[in-house]
Amino acid sequence: MTLSFAAAAAVLALAAAPAVAETSSPAIAAAVADAGRPDKDKAQDAARHPAELVAFARVKAGDTVLDIWPGAGYWSRIFSVVVGPQGKVFAYVPAEIVTFKSKPLDIAKAVAAEPGRGNVEVVSDPLAATPPADSRDKVDVAFTFENYHDFHDTFMKGADVDAYNRAVFQLLRPGGYYVIVDHAAPAGSGLKNTEDLHRIDAAAVRAEVEKAGFTFDGESKVLANPDDPKDKIVFDPAIRGKTDRFAYRFVKPRT
């Protein structure tokens, strides 16, 4: 993952870990209430719990945030307000998806051009590209929402997910956080359902990320749904927006 910041200065068993409850700050509340957020974003708040997840990610004023696969800009907009004018949001669109009919790169650029989003910058490079030396140790929080499973799918053209996680590790400052939220697949299923159901085994994610050097730092249960049978594609109307989703936070060790 080559992100130029010069312009802006094997599957392991999931060990038991306590769920982490975070307290939302006034800055986060203001970001969620931001009048500049479109109605389509606000309509998703009940299903996404943005205040709780941003608090869980520990994003704060002045931070540099990497929003990985920003989609329609839902999280980029919120991060933009939380980090403020002294912070920076990099909306990272993997080069492998820029040809999608939804035009994700164009959408990201449009979000960055919205009034008040001057701290949002769009970047796009191959998923597993090695970051240049001048961009390393610069990011405070790397965040990806419901897209990590896609990195394993055929449309990513065989991208090396291990190399991608190592690239994120290099981009983060020591003590920085890597937060992954995704749709849960049945325990023990590994990568079996990333393409057909758009789900991934949480233990597989943890194994891959820890292999890159990260330390597991906690989880949030705010999007958990024990009633999800995990046997339907996440776009099924019966379960869409109500899937069992895990939220994991990893940290780059300081030494």
Mean pLDDT of 170-199: 98
What is the number of other CB atoms lying within 10 angstroms of the CB of residue 89?
32
Q: Could you tell me the two tokens for 56? A: 């869980």
Q: Over 90: is that where the pLDDT of 231 sits?
A: yes
pLDDT band at 12 (very low <50, low <70, confident <90, very high): very low
Backbone angles phi, psi at 127, to 5 degrees: -55, -45
In this prediction, residue 20 carries a pLDDT of 55
Residue 90's Cβ-count burial label (10 Å; 0-12, 13-18, 19+) is buried
Asked if 41 and 74 touch (Cβ cutoff 8 Å), the reply is: yes
Q: Over 90: is that where the pLDDT of 142 sits?
A: yes
Average predicted confidence (pLDDT) for the chain:
92
Amino acid at 80: S
CATH number (3.40.50.300, 3.20.19.10, 3.60.15.10, 3.40.50.150) of 25-251 reads 3.40.50.150
pLDDT band at 106 (very low <50, low <70, confident <90, very high): very high
Q: Which of 167, 180, 231 is nearest to 207 (CA)?
A: 180
The pLDDT > 90 percentage for the chain reads 88
Q: Over 90: is that where the pLDDT of 2 sits?
A: no
The whole-angstrom separation of Cα 193 and Cα 152 is 10
In this prediction, residue 22 carries a pLDDT of 72
In this prediction, residue 255 carries a pLDDT of 81
Domain boundaries, the chain: 25-251
Q: What is the pTM of this model?
A: 0.92
Q: Over 60: is that where the pLDDT of 9 sits?
A: no
